[in-house]
Amino acid sequence: METEKDFKKWHEQKSELHQNKTRLNFHERDVWFSSLGANIGFEQDGKGEQFGRPVIVFRKFNNIVFWAVPLTTRTKTGKYYMGVDLGDGINRMAILSQLRLIDAKRIYQKIGVINRKSYKELEERIIKLCQGK
């Protein structure tokens, strides 16, 4: 059973981001809260006033857009999930199947950086998924 989503409130928030938000400086491996919004069906939603969810900056294309991998604190298993440790004792899972392009206007609070070893594993796991393995 799906919960009711406030698409109207998200549309207002999204319009504000588009018109007035400046882009923050970000790098690959960074973890940021990002306004992902209220999305369709099983696409990953943000929560709270800013419709936020932590994401890993997976691939930076320029200072405007990047591929983001959303995170969850729910324990998940399988090839579409990978544990991520930011050293703060919070269990997080990267949701590999939800990789998406986002504009830097959506990010608003940096919460950490994943280590190089985890980033390499993330990269390898996403490549495998893209190859259908």
Q: How far apart are the first and last CA of the chain?
A: 31
Tell me whether residue 2 is in a domain: no
The pLDDT, as a whole number, for residue 4 is 79
User: Coil, strand or helix: which one is 33?
Assistant: strand
In a domain, 42, yes or no: yes
Residue 28 structural domain: 7-130
**pLDDT at res. 21:** 81
Tens digits of pLDDT across the chain (133 residues): 456 777 787 778 888 888 888 999 999 999 999 988 766 566 566 776 777 899 999 999 999 999 999 999 999 899 999 999 998 999 999 999 999 999 999 999 999 999 999 999 999 999 999 898 7
Cβ atoms of 58 and 67 within 8 Å: the answer is yes
The CATH number of residue 41's host domain is 2.30.30.110
